[in-house]
Amino acid sequence: MATPTQFKALVVEKTNDGQFVRKIKERSIDDLPQGDLVVRVSYSSLNYKDALSATGHPGVTRQFPHTPGIDAVGEVLSCESGVFAAGDTVVITGYDLGMETDGGWGELIRIPSSWAVRLPDGLTQAEAMALGTAGFTAALSVLKLERAGVIPSDGDVLVTGATGGVGAIAVAILARAGYRVVASTGKSADEQFLRNLGAAEIIPRDQVLTGSERPMMKERWAGCVDVVGGDTLVAVVKSTRYGGAVTCCGLVGSTELPVNVYPFILRGVSLIGIDSVKCPTDIRLQVWEKLAGEWKPAQLQEMVTGVTLDGLEEKIAAILKGEISGRVVVRMMA
Write out pLDDT tens, residues 17-37: 889 999 999 999 999 999 999
Beta bridge partners of 236: none
As a whole-number percent, the residues of the chain with pLDDT over 70 amount to 99
- Picking from 310, 311, 4, 287, the residue whose alpha carbon sits closest to that of residue 136 is 287
> Do residues 193 and 163 touch, judged by C-beta distance below 8 A?
yes
Beta bridge partners of 168: none
Q: Average pLDDT for residues 131-141, to the nearest whole number?
A: 95
Residue 249 predicted with pLDDT over 90 = yes
Q: Tell me: cis bond preceding 33? Omega within 30 of 0 counts.
A: no
When the pLDDT of each residue in the chain is averaged and rounded to a whole number, the result is 93
> Do residues 153 and 241 touch, judged by C-beta distance below 8 A?
no
pLDDT for res 2: 64
Running DSSP on this structure, what letter comes out for residue 121? T
Q: How far apart are CA 103 and CA 10, in angstroms?
A: 10
Q: How far apart are CA 57 and CA 162, in angstroms?
A: 25
pLDDT for res 1: 56
Residue 183 predicted with pLDDT over 80 = yes
Exposed, middle or buried: residue 30 (CB in 10 Å: 0-12, 13-18, 19+)?
A: exposed
Find the DSSP H helices in the chain: 48-54, 125-147, 165-176, 191-197, 205-209, 230-238, 262-266, 281-292, 312-320
Q: Which of 9-18, 230-239, 320-329 has the lowest mean pLDDT?
A: 320-329
Strands 240-248 and 270-273, sheet pairing:
parallel
